[in-house]
Structure formats: structure tokens, C-alpha cells
Structure 1
Amino acid sequence: MLPLDRSPKVAEASGPLVALESTIITHGMPYPKNVETARAVEAVIRKEGAVPATTAVMDGRLKIGLTDAELDRLAKTEKVTKLSRADIAHCIATGGTGATTVAATMIAARAAGIEVFATGGIGGVHRGAEDSFDISADLTELARTPVTVVAAGAKAILDLPKTLEVLETQGVPVIAYGQDAFPAFWSRSSGLAAPLRCDDPAEIAAAHRMRRSLGLDGGQLVANPVPEGDEIPADEITPIIAQAQDEADAAGISGKAVTPFLLARIFELTGGRSLETNIALVLNNARLAARIARELHAS
């Protein structure tokens, strides 16, 4: 039997639920900014009439929703493992503690019957993947697990054209919200067209339900652009990303260590502006995810 614990607020919920990842807490921001942001995201979801369910593995238990004490403890814990499809089961079975990535959060959400998940940006095809074969498990998880994921596109440090190609090959609907362009995390536009567009949370919820009716595997990616006043334009952030990537290559950084290094270096190079934009886009995604969850609950 799966050792799954729902927090009291999640267990008592009679309305819509929105799953949240925990790597943004353990790997995305320093303490106490991480816990402050996590609580702010949860507050946005509650304000929109849904119940937040932050997921993590703690002491071998799959947590669906964290209490205040658990959130504080996770935020202060050092060297927490980033969990994806490959290692979440091992972490639970061995009594470990780990933070859930997009892929692992989708798995946790499905186990708990949650249909909508809000995050910052998904993983994807890393630059140079033709040599390294470094492709995030987030993409294949979207193809197999029936959860609607709301993100500000894929992280801009990735190869976005190849990421969209893999998503297309995997049959994952990529829906830009309120615009035709595929957003690029800190920037509202990547310069690439999104395959699909929706302007209403009800349309996104209807598409989610129709996939189930057709018996299609997998979820859908809702690409929600960062609010205009919070973005870092692509022409400004692109050379900064390139510099950070060059430094990572020179230092021989690879695998799971790449993304945390790049995000930290970009934070330094932008004087902290990238983090503020990151927080703004996560809050924006949480708001939209809650509205989609409300529509799904009502249907």
C-alpha cells in the first residue's frame, strides 16, 4: 500500500485542489524567501476558491499537502534530493526525504486524484542534447500522466524549439493562454508559435475532460505568460543565459546539477531580478490553475 498522507486541509477539502511542486522550495530559492513564496502561492490558490496541495516525500511518506511545520522543516533542510519518475519510489521505499519535480508532482497528483498542477516552468530538452541526450523526464510524464500542468512555458535555459518538437512527438497538447506565442519563462514570448491557444479556463477544463473521454493518455501543458510588468524581455535575458551556460560548460557541470547552477548564476547576473520575475510568474500560474480546477470541479 502506498504510504500517502493528506494534510488536514487537503483531507477535509470538498472543492477543487491544485497540486504544487516542492523543488521550488528546496532548490529554487534561499531560505526564508522559499517558504515565504510557498505560502504566498498557496494563499493565491485559496483566494481563487481552491485548496493547495504542495507535494513532497518526507521520511518515506508521500505528502499531499504540507502543514506549516512540515513546510518550514522542508525549507530549512539541506541537500534534499530532487525526485523524478526514476527515483521517487526508491525514496519512499527507503524512508527518505525528497522534493518533487514536475514529473514527480504529476505522479503524486494522479495518486491523490488531483487533476491540475501549477509550477514555474517545465523541464525540457537541454542545449547540446544532441551530444548529451539530456532531456527532462517532465516531457514524457506529460505524455503519460493525466494532469493539466500550468507553467510559464519551459525554462528559458533550455532548447525551446527542440522541447516543442518532443512535446509534439509525444502527443502533448501545448496551449498558450491568452496569446499565440509560446512563452519563455522570464519572457512573455520565445519567438515561437504555440501549437494551440485558449483564452478561457473553461475551455482548458473542457479539453482536459475531452482527452479522458477519448481515452487519450497524458495531460496537457498550459503555457501561461508572465505578467507584462514583471517580464525580463528575451533580448535582455538571452545573452545572460548564454554566459551562464558557457560557465557551466567550462566547469563541467552536467545532469541534475545544471539547472540549479544556471538559475543561481542568472540570479547573480540579473542582480536578483530573475528571482522576482520567477516569483511573479509562479503566482500568476497558481491563479490560473485554481480557476481551471474550479471549472473541472464544476463540470
Structure 2
Amino acid sequence: MNYNVKLSDEVREALALGRPVIALESTIIAHGMPYPQNVKTALACERLARTHGAVPATIAIIGGQLCAGLTEEQIEYLGREGRNVAKVSRRDIPYIMAKGADGATTVAATMFIASLAGIKVFATGGIGGVHRGAETTMDISADLTELGRTPVAVVCAGAKSVLDIGLTLEYLETQGVPVVGFRTNKMPAFYTRDSGYNTSCRCDSVEELSDMVGAMANIPMRSGMVIVNPIPKEFEADEDMIDRATTKALREAEKNGITGRDVTPFLLARIAELTEGASLKANIALVYNNVRLAASVAAGVIQPD
């Protein structure tokens, strides 16, 4: 089932025994946060997963090898090297493998590798989506098409706030991907709890979410789901501050000709600067919140016979 995915001993044993496992991505380590907060956050996420009943499988490509479950030394390496490590989406996987190189996996690549390994639940900060102005640039994240063809449940705080959230939801609908609000009818906007758009459905208990993930795993859906978990109120960023910072960062990205895979890391870093670290604090808090929920959901999924 794992198709040459290198599993850590902990992950291999958990999967063999039918114990809950959650995937964690590595782009957030190498490209999403500055060092050393990135390493501290990644290790804290692993501890949180274990505390809430699941084995963490941080996913990356190391030396051309697909890996699910990293050592602390490997996480430290990814965090310290930062953007020197390639940002890898699904399309890049064969190239990075052939080169024997290292890669930090995006949501799309993490979903793909998690599915190969037999992991059904994945916690991240936020998914990619349809970028603002995509009607002319066609800049649409591969995360969305991956959700339409890979049966993994992604627990997140919505789409990243720099995106066109309305069009992102429309695209997910076209891909047949349910957007499930955990105790909310509203699609969160990453740093804030309400984007103004509605989710496709709502679950008010972890048990309901686990049942949905179990149903997805037991039928040939061939598509995933998005479980949106709003950032806790006490960590929510000021909406006006985020909007101002986002607008300024987007203008700077356009002026400097920043495109493609470089856009989101630039915007997140610039927004953190413009908000004097407030967005980074919110980012860390929402990631922890998502890991807790994902671990609890995975722990409640009944394994098929």
C-alpha cells in the first residue's frame, strides 16, 4: 500500500496495528514560518498529536525518498535550511525523487503521499485556493484538484486569507469536495473566523466528523474533504489589520513580479512583518488547534475490517 514511502518505525507500527495516524506537512516548516519558530511549532504539533491520541507523520522528501514520519534532526534541518529546500507540489515529486533532492511538501503533495501510505487524516494551517485575479492569471492551487482526486480529510482553518475564498469554494464544489464546518456554518478566513461565505455542511461533534471520514474511507469516493476549524476567538487577528496588510502585500508582490509557487510564502512573510508578528502568532495558534482536532477525529475513525 505504501508504494515505497519510507515510514518511521512509529508510523509503520501504528498503521500495521490500525492505530490512528495523522499527516503533517513540511512546507509550513521550510516556507511558512521563520526559524526557529518553524521548528518549535512542528515539534509541538507532533507532541499535540500524540497527546490527543494519534501518531504524527510529518511528510517530506529527503534525499529523493518519500518520507512519512521524520526525525527531530530532519525537522531541524528543514527548518534551518528554509527556502533553500524546494517547495514540492504533486507535479514536482518525480523530479525531486530523480534528483535525489530534498523537498518540503505542500498540501497537495502531502495529501498524495499520505494517501500512498494509507493515512486518511491530515492537519495543516490553511489550504491553497483560487488566487485573487485568477480570472486573468489562472493561478489556482493544485491543492484544490488534489482534494478532488485523493481521499484524505484535510483539517484546516479555511483557505489562506490572501486568496479569493468565494471562488475557492466554487472550485471545490465543482471538484465534488465537501467543506465541513466544525461547529460553524461559516467558512473561516485563516486568521479570522468568518469569511462571509458558508460551508457546504456542518458537524457539531468529533464523532460526526470521524463518521464522515470513515464513510469516505469505506467507499470509492476518490476525492477528499475539507474540515474547517475556525481559529479560537482568543487568538483571532483583527480583520481590518489583516485586510490592510494583505492589500499592501499583494500590491508589492505584483510590483516585484512575484508569481507561482513564490506568491504565498512571500505574502505570509510580508503580512507577518506588516502586522508586527500578530499574524504569525495567529498562524501558530490555528495550526495547534487543527492538530488537536485532526488527532481526535483520526482516533474516532473505525477501521474497516
Q: Work out the CA distance in 2 between the residues paired with 1:214 and 1:294.
A: 19
TM-score normalised per structure 2: 0.95
Structure showing the higher strand proportion among its residues: 1
Q: Work out the CA distance in 2 between the residues paired with 1:238 and 1:92.
A: 39
Matched ranges for 1:47-66 at <5 A? 47-66=51-70
Greater shift, 289-298 or 122-131, is seen at: 289-298
Are positions 1:84 and 2:89 aligned together?
yes
Give the superposition deviation at 1:259: 0.6
Preserved CA contact (<8 Å) 1:121 1:154: yes
Question: Which of 150, 158, 172 is equivalent to 1:145?
Answer: 150
Counterpart of 1:10 in structure 2 is 11
**Structure 1 unpaired stretches of 5+:** none
CA RMSD of aligned residues (A): 1.4
Matched ranges for 1:1-299 at <5 A? 2-13=3-14, 14=17, 15-78=19-82, 79-297=84-302
Q: Work out the CA distance in 2 between the residues paired with 1:297 and 1:276.
A: 35
Q: Partner of 1:19: helix, strand, or coil?
A: strand
Give the superposition deviation at 1:29: 1.3
TM-score normalised per structure 1: 0.96
Q: Partner of 1:144: helix, strand, or coil?
A: coil
Q: Work out the CA distance in 1 between the residues paired with 2:143 and 2:132.
A: 16
Give the superposition deviation at 1:68: 1.4
Q: Work out the CA distance in 2 between the residues paired with 1:73 and 1:233.
A: 33
Preserved CA contact (<8 Å) 2:3 2:117: no
How much identity, in percent, do the aligned residues show? Answer: 52
Q: Work out the CA distance in 2 between the residues paired with 1:201 and 1:246.
A: 40
Q: Work out the CA distance in 1 between the residues paired with 2:271 and 2:223.
A: 32
Greater shift, 96-105 or 215-224, is seen at: 215-224
Q: Work out the CA distance in 2 between the residues paired with 1:27 and 1:116.
A: 22
Q: Work out the CA distance in 2 between the residues paired with 1:96 and 1:297.
A: 37
Greater shift, 158-167 or 239-248, is seen at: 239-248
Preserved CA contact (<8 Å) 1:80 1:99: yes
Q: Work out the CA distance in 1 between the residues paired with 2:294 and 2:4.
A: 27
Q: Partner of 1:192: helix, strand, or coil?
A: coil
Could you list the per-position Cα deviations for residues 230-278 of structure 1 after superposition, in whole angstroms to 9, with x for gaps in the alignment? 0113233112211111111111111111111111110011000100100
Preserved CA contact (<8 Å) 1:188 1:233: no
| AA aligned opposite 1:202 | E
Could you list the per-position Cα deviations for residues 7-35 of structure 1 after superposition, in whole angstroms to 9, with x for gaps in the alignment? 12212324200000000100011211111
**Structure 2 unpaired stretches of 5+:** none
